[in-house]
């Protein structure tokens, strides 16, 4: 397995947060590699000798210094797709001019959803920054009892008032938004998988469609030959007008099938261009569909998906955020202290005086009990959401693994038995025809059989690559859908002073 490098994310600067600890949950996730290789089932020798997959270093695993500007990009490594060319091949043109690797590189630059995903992280980090800031002090001028005893008043002077945030509310608020930033990171990683998965799937589809066009061109030639043959047979009484007309119908249907395959190919190429974000040349595709890859197993795939899925990790990070939210809202009733003081002049006594005031807002009626209840509800909801995502992934994986397994079985069988046998049957009939033993319609039948089996092989190849891409890419699709907001729907969200 060959690797290639992806630039994924850059975290925004966060002043004064050096000591903000990561939550235990996120940290443990971060400590693990996001992309563990799926243990391979017993595979052919060629597959077993393939290089191991590179492990992906998540953004969180890199222990970013949140106090530093986000100038240093974190490096993400995604495994090269099964059958994808080596990175070295990316720099060198294939016979078709471009490789899957080079196309993926272009997508990192031009696919707008990756930019959106990065800005989601930036925005959430901004909230964390904002949530940890001190409230600004109030400066004022105060004049009291103006005209008392014919004077300018008992107090003429300035004051300064500062709200003292108690119970470490700022720290907890910042932790909450950092947890959401972690969720945004995993969301961005998920978006990267969505883009890459879609590109790979589209690439396989386009490559398969290109092959199918060639095969269907042969099918048209076969149908043309069959028509000519039936006409030849007509002249010696071995076919009739009905059979001639039926041969013409078959030819037209075969031509329409070819046109449909050409349309498929063109559409696949255009969709691929849209995913990459730039117009791609027509002749793009190398022929990596056939390359051997280690087979997947259900148990390893399930463990890999549930353990490493960016969606699961994003949901887990959100759960941590909701847990902190509860903690934060529990601290909210603890009153902040407002301190106000300032010097002035008492014109009635003709002396300088100082005013001082300390106030609190005791939680008598409003103990934040409603918001605390909402925060608890959000936490419970997110726990259920995590469970839902895991079950949904298991359900979807079961479907894709079935498709993968079925396609893989077909591919191996077609490679080892079906295609060689069909080809040998065709060759045997050709040889026999040359020896005047076989009839030409029977040769055409064998030829048609070979082409049909070749087309089925390509369909299975594409399905195989497609499902493998999805399984290895955590079933994520939607490379042109806008990345989700890291704040779950219905949750307590930002205020001018987010908490």
Token couple for 53: 């997959």
C-beta of 216 vs 323, nearer to another protein: 216
Smallest distance, Å, CB 266 to another protein?
21
Q: Which residues bind another protein (CB under 8 A)?
A: 214, 217-218, 221-222, 224-225, 228-229, 231-233, 235-238, 423, 426-443, 447, 450
C-beta of 232 vs 417, nearer to another protein: 232
C-beta of 145 vs 459, nearer to another protein: 459
C-beta of 286 vs 483, nearer to another protein: 286
Smallest distance, Å, CB 454 to another protein?
9
Smallest distance, Å, CB 231 to another protein?
7
For residue 1, give Cα distances in angstroms to 78, 115, 400. 11, 28, 22
Distance between CA 93 and CA 283 in Å, rounded?
12
C-beta of 367 vs 427, nearer to another protein: 427
353, 144 in Cβ contact below 8 A? no
C-beta of 51 vs 249, nearer to another protein: 249
Smallest distance, Å, CB 221 to another protein?
5
Smallest distance, Å, CB 415 to another protein?
16
C-beta of 399 vs 428, nearer to another protein: 428
Smallest distance, Å, CB 59 to another protein?
48
Smallest distance, Å, CB 240 to another protein?
13
C-beta of 46 vs 428, nearer to another protein: 428
C-beta of 72 vs 420, nearer to another protein: 420
Smallest distance, Å, CB 249 to another protein?
17
Token couple for 284: 């793009």
Residues 6+ apart with CB under 8 A from 479: 107, 111, 113, 191, 194, 195, 196, 197, 198, 199, 275
C-beta of 178 vs 458, nearer to another protein: 458
Smallest distance, Å, CB 82 to another protein?
25
Smallest distance, Å, CB 430 to another protein?
5
Burial class (CB in 10 A: 0-12, 13-18, 19+), 73: middle
Smallest distance, Å, CB 218 to another protein?
6
C-beta of 166 vs 238, nearer to another protein: 238
C-beta of 190 vs 233, nearer to another protein: 233
Smallest distance, Å, CB 254 to another protein?
13
Smallest distance, Å, CB 451 to another protein?
9
113, 479 in Cβ contact below 8 A? yes
Token couple for 36: 């563990």
CA angle 4, 10, 15 (to 5 degrees): 155
Distance between CA 300 and CA 401 in Å, rounded?
11
Nearest Cα residue to 418 out of 373, 374, 456: 456
C-beta of 443 vs 475, nearer to another protein: 443
């Amino acid at each position: 397995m060959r690797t290639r490098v992806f630039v994924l994310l850059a975290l925004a600067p966060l002043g004064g947060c050096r000591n903000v600890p990561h939550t235990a949950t996120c940290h443990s996730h971060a400590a693990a590699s996001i992309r563990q290789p799926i243990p391979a089932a017993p595979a052919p020798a060629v597959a077993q000798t393939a290089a191991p997959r590179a492990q992906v270093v998540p953004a969180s695993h890199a222990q970013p210094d949140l106090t530093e500007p986000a100038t240093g990009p974190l490096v993400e490594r995604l495994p090269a797709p099964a059958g994808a060319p080596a990175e070295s091949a990316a720099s060198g043109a294939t016979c078709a001019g471009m490789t899957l690797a080079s196309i993926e590189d272009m997508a990192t630059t031009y696919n707008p959803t990756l930019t959106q995903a990065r800005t989601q992280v930036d925005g959430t980090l901004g909230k964390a920054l904002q949530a940890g800031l001190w409230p600004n002090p109030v400066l004022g001028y105060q004049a009291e009892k103006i005209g008392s005893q014919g004077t300018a008043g008992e107090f003429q002077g300035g004051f300064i008032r500062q709200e003292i945030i108690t119970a470490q509310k700022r720290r907890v608020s910042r932790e909450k938004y950092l947890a959401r930033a972690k969720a945004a990171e995993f969301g961005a990683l998920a978006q990267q998988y969505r883009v890459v998965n879609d590109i790979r799937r589209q690439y396989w589809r386009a490559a398969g469609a290109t092959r199918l066009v060639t095969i269907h061109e042969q099918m048209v030639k076969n149908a043309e030959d069959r028509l000519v043959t039936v006409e030849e047979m007509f002249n010696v009484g071995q076919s009739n007008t009905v059979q001639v007309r039926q041969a013409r119908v078959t030819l037209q249907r075969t031509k329409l099938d070819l046109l449909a395959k050409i349309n498929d190919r063109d559409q696949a190429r255009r969709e691929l261009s849209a995913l990459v974000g730039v117009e791609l040349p027509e002749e793009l595709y190398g022929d990596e569909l056939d390359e051997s890859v280690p087979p997947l197993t259900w148990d390893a795939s399930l463990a890999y998906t549930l353990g490493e899925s960016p969606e699961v990790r994003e949901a887990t990070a959100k759960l941590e955020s909701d847990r902190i939210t509860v903690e934060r809202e529990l601290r909210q009733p603890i009153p902040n202290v407002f301190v106000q003081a300032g010097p002035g002049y008492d014109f009635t006594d003709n002396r300088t005086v100082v005013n001082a005031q300390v106030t609190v807002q005791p939680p008598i009626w409003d103990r934040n009990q409603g918001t605390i209840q909402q925060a608890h509800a959000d936490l419970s909801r997110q726990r259920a959401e995590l469970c839902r995502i895991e079950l949904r992934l298991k359900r979807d994986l079961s479907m894709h693994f079935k498709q993968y397994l079925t396609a893989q079985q077909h591919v191996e069988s077609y490679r080892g038995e079906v295609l060689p046998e069909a080809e040998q049957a065709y060759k045997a009939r050709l040889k026999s025809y040359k020896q005047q033993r076989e009839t030409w319609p029977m040769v055409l039948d064998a030829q048609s059989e070979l082409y049909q089996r070749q087309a089925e092989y390509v369909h299975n190849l594409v399905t195989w690559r497609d499902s493998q891409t999805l399984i290895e890419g955590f079933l994520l699709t939607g490379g042109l859908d806008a990345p989700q907001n890291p704040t779950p729907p219905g949750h307590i969200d930002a205020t001018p002073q987010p908490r």
